[in-house]
Amino acid sequence: MNLQTHLLTKFKAALDAIGAPKDSPAPLSRSTRAGFGHYQFNGAMALAKVLKEKPRDIAEKIVAAVDLADEAVKLEIAGPGFINIHLNPAWLANQLSLANDDPRLGIAPESQQTVVVDYSSPNLAKEMHVGHLRTTIIGDAVVKTLEFLGHKVLRQNHMGDWGTQFGMLITHLNDKLAADSAAETALSDLEDFYRAAKVRFDDEEGFADRARANVVKLQSGDAECLSLWKTFVDVSITHSEEVYEKLNVSLKREHIRGESAYNNDLAATVNALQEQGIVVEDQGAQVAFIDELADKEGKPAAYIVQKSGGGYLYATTDLAAIRYRNKTLGADRTLILTDARQALHFKQTEIVARKAGFIEPEQTYEHCPFGMMLGNDGKPFKTRTGGTVKLAELLDEAVERAEVLINKRESDLSAEERKEIAEKVGIGAVKYADLSKNRTTDYIFNWDTMLSFEGNTAPYLQYAYTRIKSIFRKANASHAQLHAEIELSTEQELTLAVKLLQYVEAIKQVSSEGTPHVLCGYIYELASIFMTFYEACPMLKDGIDENTKNSRLTLANLTAQTLKSGLDLLGIETMEKM
Ligand code: ARG
């Protein structure tokens, strides 16, 4: 049950009934203040202007017409014509029971769309570094949420596996292999390999020329160069896969469609743009001049799709990718997750692609930008010596730090269990710290805050979940006791009930806006509301009435299920004990 849309439908019917013009605004939102009910309908004021009547009179008419006999105990008009909706505890209890008995928690699938999600997409010339964390985990959370809501999601890992630097890399690899080194050994550290290749490129006589010649050979399909390239790319992908595994994200090899996959369509893409007059020749290059993005002097933005030497660019590949995704895959929506510095590129790409008909009016192209991860000094996150931090190493450190913390806590867990918990807590902490920040802003990466058992952190939420599970163990609760009849008699129970039913509102926002932090905020509030409920409404105390006890256990059960579902969508693992 989606409280918001359910109530909205009822109010829209009421507006029709009192003769409001079709499609009159119907703003309905959660009440932000205690005492103002659970939801508020604020459409009376605007309608009063249209109908030339007093807002309070209109509000009264709406209240008389709206059919909420079951749902609400009270509809009260406040201020100039706000309608405060006080939901009926018995009706809420019934909705909670339905959710508690349903593996989908009472959330119906949305009408299905095909959604392409382009995320992670690292450049394979180097190893994955902290800069790839956000796209990978935000993307994965969005993907899982879309799937939960019933959409057909096509993961696209648009890896950077093509371009001039591969000439340099395969030339260096060629020499290493000729000197009898195995590919896996030569490429065991991609950063070192890249650095060594670059030094040779800059300093070694003849190397740069060989590298350039190899790019041309590679792009024209020379078998030897292709085989070196495949070897390189394969090892680099394996490195990424190790990171995905550690991070517990759902990206697999079959989701990779790197830049190289579009190589054969680049000429045709540029052709299509030329034929429609969208690009013109300018100093030997093929350029789209974008009036929509002109500068202050009215000079249109220049968007190059082919360089004067004939070479193609990042932009060309993105246009070809759009053709493939929209025509071949039939995407209704495309979401691309990269940092905010690429925002202009995607804006330009969308304008050009729409003009060319690569994107139909009803199809979307949504760049979901995010801010940067900063160190404690407020500058881009770096190693002590100023190098880029490898993602794999950062994750190992997270687990080590979590292990120290877990070992400090008193418990009867075995060494093996602690190890497993440390993994879930360490990785969960890094992921959650990132996911919980507003996607579009920069954030400071801080080990101590993210690993804290207090506040809006993974350990706090994982602990909240295990705590509910331990209540069930202590109560020796049977299935029936966790699916008992619910009575909402105290304020705390009612608050928890409404919050539980608002889960769907949070995840719908994640799916429409690509913002997992909304779900994090929801889960954290839910956990906090549960703690308040737990303190006020005992369930293990001696002498407590059996029905009351079971009703509370059932509420706790739905809370646990909702926490687990939300954490699952975020890619954060839970455990029964910690
Ligand atoms: N490889 C790019 C980078 O590391 C990200 C690619 C994003 N996707 C795209 N279709 N351009 O910055």
Closest-CA residue to 515 (of 428, 450, 434, 444): 434
The confidence band for 410, taking pLDDT boundaries of 50, 70 and 90, is: confident
- Judge whether 4 and 40 are in contact, CB under 8 Å: no
Q: What integer pLDDT is reported at residue 220 of this predicted model?
A: 86
Closest C-alpha to 6, from 431, 488, 502, 548: 502
Q: Which of 121, 127, 337 to mutate to test the pocket of ligand 1 (most atoms within 8 A of CB)?
A: 121
**Count of residues making up the chain:** 578
User: In one letter, which amino acid is 375?
Assistant: G
Ligand 1, residue 159: give the atom nearest the CA: 1
Closest by alpha carbon to 449, among 440, 467, 437, 464?
A: 437
Q: What angle do CA 78, 84, 85 make, to 5 degrees?
A: 160
Cα 177 to ligand 1 centroid, rounded to whole Å: 30
Ligand 1 atom 7, closest CA: 121
The mean per-residue pLDDT over the stretch 302-312 comes to 93
pLDDT value at 169 more than 90: yes
CA of 167 from ligand 1 middle (Å) equals: 20
Can you read off the two tokens belonging to residue 396?
Answer: 């190992």
Tell me which residues have their CB closer than 6 angstroms to ligand 1.
118, 121-123, 158, 160, 318, 321, 336, 338
Please name every residue paired with 84 in a beta bridge, in sequence order, or none if there are none: 40, 76
Mean pLDDT confidence for 292-317? 94
pLDDT-derived band at 532 (thresholds 50, 70, 90) equals very high
Strand 366-370, strand 333-339: pairing: parallel
What is each CA distance from 527 to 101, 348, 446, 493, 550, in whole angstroms?
20, 43, 23, 13, 20
* Centroid of ligand 1 to alpha carbon of 171 (angstroms): 24
Separation of CA 126 and ligand 1 centre (Å): 14
Q: What is the pLDDT of residues 93-136, one digit of tens each?
A: 999 999 999 999 999 999 999 999 999 999 999 999 988 999 99
Which atom of ligand 1 is closest in space to residue 339's alpha carbon? 12
The three-state DSSP-derived secondary structure of 206-264 is CHHHHHHHHHHHHHCCCHHHHHHHHHHHHHHHHHHHHHHHHHCCCCCHHHECCHHHHHH
Q: How does pLDDT run across 181-219, given as a tens digit for each residue?
A: 888 888 999 989 999 999 999 999 999 999 999 999 998
Q: Which amino acid is at 279?
A: V
300 C-beta neighbours (distance < 10 Å), count: 14
Tell me, what's the pLDDT at 35? 83
Q: What's the gap in Å between 119 CA and the centre of ligand 1?
A: 8
- In contact, 513 and 507? CB cutoff 8 Å: no
What's the CA-to-centroid distance between 391 and ligand 1, angstroms?
A: 17
Q: Which atom of ligand 1 is nearest to the CA of 337?
A: 7
CA of 245 to the centre of ligand 1 (A): 21
Considering only CA atoms, which residue is closest to atom 5 of ligand 1? 121
Phi-psi region for residue 567, left (φ > 0), alpha (ψ -120 to 50) or beta?
alpha
- What is the pLDDT at residue 384? 79
Ligand 1 midpoint to CA 140 (Å): 15
What's the Cα-to-Cα distance from 344 to each of 8, 197, 282, 340, 369, rounded to whole Å? 37, 32, 21, 9, 10
Which of ligand 1's atoms lies nearest the C-alpha of 131? 4
Is residue 563 scored above 80 in pLDDT? yes
Q: E strands of 295-332, at which residues?
A: 301-306
Q: How confident is the model at residue 388 (pLDDT cuts 50, 70, 90)?
A: confident
Looking from the CA of residue 338, the nearest atom of ligand 1 is 7
- Report the residue among 251, 338, 372 best suited for mutation to probe ligand 1: largest number of ligand atoms under 8 A from its CB: 338
Nearest residue (by CA) to ligand 1, atom 3, is 122
Instruction: State pTM to two decimals.
Output: 0.94
Closest protein CA for atom 6 of ligand 1: 121
| Longest pairwise C-alpha distance within the chain | 89
Amino acid present at 402: A
Q: Which atom of ligand 1 is nearest to the CA of 160?
A: 1
Alpha-carbon distance of 440 to 438, in angstroms, equals: 6
CB within 8 Å of 399: residues ≥ 6 apart: 422, 423, 426, 427
Q: Which atom of ligand 1 is nearest to the CA of 132?
A: 4
Q: List strands edge to edge, sheet with 39-41.
A: 28-30, 39-41, 82-87, 72-78
**In this structure, what token pair is assigned to residue 483?**
């699916």
CA 122–ligand 1 middle distance (angstroms): 7
Nearest CA to ligand 1 atom 4: 122
Look at residue 526 in the predicted model and tell me its pLDDT.
Answer: 98
Residue (of 107, 53, 104, 119) closest to 80 by Cα position: 53
Q: 409: pLDDT confidence band, cut at 50, 70 and 90?
A: confident
Closest Cα partner for 514 from 107, 115, 5?
A: 115
Distance CA 287, CA 375 (A): 39
Rounded to the nearest angstrom, the distance between the alpha carbon of 347 and the centre of ligand 1 is 14
E-only strand ranges, 267-426? 280-282, 285-290, 301-306, 333-339, 366-370, 373-374
pLDDT of residue 570: 98
Task: Output the CA 318–ligand 1 centroid distance in Å.
Answer: 9
> pLDDT of 48-93, one tens digit each?
999 999 999 999 999 999 999 999 999 999 999 999 999 999 999 9
Q: What percent of the chain has pLDDT over 90?
A: 89
pLDDT for position 21:
92
Pocket test for ligand 1, best of 319, 342, 345 (most atoms within 8 A of CB): 342
User: CB of 555 within 8 A of CB of 533?
Assistant: yes
Segment 253-302, tens digit of pLDDT: 999 999 999 999 999 999 999 999 999 999 999 999 999 999 999 999 99
Mean pLDDT calculated for residue range 497-526: 97
CA 184/CA 410 separation, integer angstroms: 43
Rg (CA), the chain: 28
The predicted-structure confidence for 28-44, as pLDDT tens digits, reads as follows 999 988 788 999 999 99
pLDDT for residue 500: 98
For ligand 1, atom 11: residue with the closest CA? 318
Whether the CB-CB separation of 186 and 171 falls below 8 Å is answered with: no
Q: What percent of the chain has pLDDT over 70?
A: 100
Ligand 1 centroid, distance to 563 Cα (angstroms)? 33
| Ligand 1 atom closest to 346 (CA) | 11
Q: What is the 284 CA–ligand 1 centroid distance (Å)?
A: 26
In the predicted structure, residue 473 carries a pLDDT above the cut 80: yes
